[in-house]
Copies of this chain bind each other. A is one copy, B any other.
Amino acid sequence: MSVQPNLSEPKLLKIGEFARRAGTNLRTLRYYEEIGLLTPASRSKGGFRFYRESDANRLTMVQTLQGLGLHLDRICEVMSTRNGDTTKAGFFARIRSALEEQDRLLRDRITELQGQRERIDYAFGKLQECEKCDVIPDSGNNFCDPCPATGQELPQDLSALF
């Protein structure tokens, strides 16, 4: 006789085990509950929080969005796909727009970081030349900005460190 898995009672985790799996800690989870960002699925009669395994995916999304520089109140908004009209069309439209928003943020951020890598590369190139030069950057020559050899501005990342 095959037993139907009980889908209406998915596995629940206590806060410690859930935090470990989700890569976070107890204080953060309690704080997220306090601000309404992530509410446990239930509580024991003694007050113990119980989380769904799948809530770890919500946590991951929060971490991703935080890494992109969003504040928790904005993250609440972006992830509140269950608020609003309850039609299937409306619900799915909110999901789609949340995913699109994240993709935009990711693309923009990647472009930014690639630009920063190019600037680092440019600085490396100039640094090679500086190593062959006699002048040592100090306050007397405004830390070699502009470069006494070429008269040009230093790459930003060298100017920052000289």
Chain A interface (Cβ within 8 Å of chain B)?
7-8, 10, 52, 54, 57-58, 60-61, 64, 67, 69, 79, 81, 88, 91-92, 95-96, 98-99, 102-103, 106-107, 109-110, 113-114, 116-117, 120-121, 123-124, 127, 130-131, 136, 139-143, 145, 154, 156-162
A98, B67: Cβ atoms under 8 Å?
no
B106, A117: Cβ atoms under 8 Å?
yes
A106: which B residues are within 8 A, CB to CB? 113, 116-117, 120
The majority secondary structure among interface residues of chain A is: helix
A127, B99: Cβ atoms under 8 Å?
yes
Q: How many copies does the complex hold?
A: 2
Q: In the complex, which of the residues B61, B113, B161 contacts A160, with contact meaning CB atoms closer than 8 Å?
A: B61
A67: which B residues are within 8 A, CB to CB? 69
Closest to A6 in B: B142
Distance in angstroms from A140 CB to nearest chain B CB is: 6
